[in-house]
Copies of this chain bind each other. A is one copy, B any other.
Amino acid sequence: MIAISLLEKYGAIIKTFKNSDTIFEEGKQPTHYYQIISGEIKMNNYNDEGKEFIQGIFYENQCFGEPPLFIDQVYPANAVAVIDSELIIITKNKFFELLENNAEISLNIIKNLSQRLYYKSVMAAEISSQDPEHRVLRLIDYSIAQLNFKKEAAGFLINLTRQQIADLTGLRVETVIRAIKSLEKKGDLKIINRKVYR
């Protein structure tokens, strides 16, 4: 999202995280700007019963966790590495300095926040008021549009486990499995040795 060379001018450092390492925790004060060089990061919450909800999954060149930085609030969710990942990070102060000196970056940030707000709006309506099959299909379609899924002969390979789809849509994994089966029967997607294609 922000050029690595520019970040480095402002003292950015590169940090590596192993699979399932925590980058920051819900309720903590934000101190840095984070951008992914390589890997995969999820933001999540756990409810009172320990059920996970995934706010979003982020991939290379994407940033995450900035909103609380701008509005001086604590993190609304945790950030956890899904696979081994390399992040470039700079301190809050340096980040704001960078912004002030590079006016054109602001528009990028606005666009990025707008994109994420758009996703949340669409998914909020879906999650709250549609049947499971519809929710799963909409998440899949949205993920294809936004994320870097590979197009193969059978269609786009949906690079999400059923558990992840469950946690992204607020459903239970058994419900997702049954919904995906049913969607396959209807011809809305394909299952080839357990992998989902659309």
Q: Contact residues of A with B, CB < 8 Å? A: 45, 47-48, 51, 53, 55, 66-71, 73, 76-77, 99, 103, 106-107, 109-111, 113-118, 120-125, 127-130, 134, 169-170
Q: Which of A47, A76, A117 has the most CB of B within 10 A?
A: A117
- Set of chain B residues within 8 Å of A76, measured between Cβ atoms: 118, 121-122, 125
- Set of chain B residues within 8 Å of A55, measured between Cβ atoms: 121, 124-125
CB pair A53 B124 closer than 8 Å: yes
At the interface, is chain A mostly helix, strand, loop or mixed?
Answer: helix
Besides A53-B129, A67-B121, 5 new A-B residue pairs in contact (Cβ under 8 A), listed by A number: A48-B134, A77-B121, A109-B110, A117-B117, A120-B124
A67-B117, A113-B110 given; A127·B130 CB < 8 A: no
- Set of chain B residues within 8 Å of A110, measured between Cβ atoms: 70, 106, 109-110, 113
18 contacts between A and B (CB under 8 A): A48-B134, A67-B114, A67-B115, A70-B110, A70-B114, A71-B114, A76-B121, A76-B122, A77-B125, A99-B107, A103-B106, A106-B110, A110-B110, A117-B120, A120-B120, A123-B124, A127-B127, A127-B128
A103-B106, A130-B47, A170-B128 given; A121·B120 CB < 8 A: yes
- Set of chain B residues within 8 Å of A134, measured between Cβ atoms: 48
Return the contact of A106 from the options B68, B106, B128 (Cβ within 8 A): B106
Cα-based distance from A129 to B51 in the complex (angstroms): 7
- Set of chain B residues within 8 Å of A125, measured between Cβ atoms: 45, 47, 53, 55, 76-77
- Set of chain B residues within 8 Å of A48, measured between Cβ atoms: 130, 134
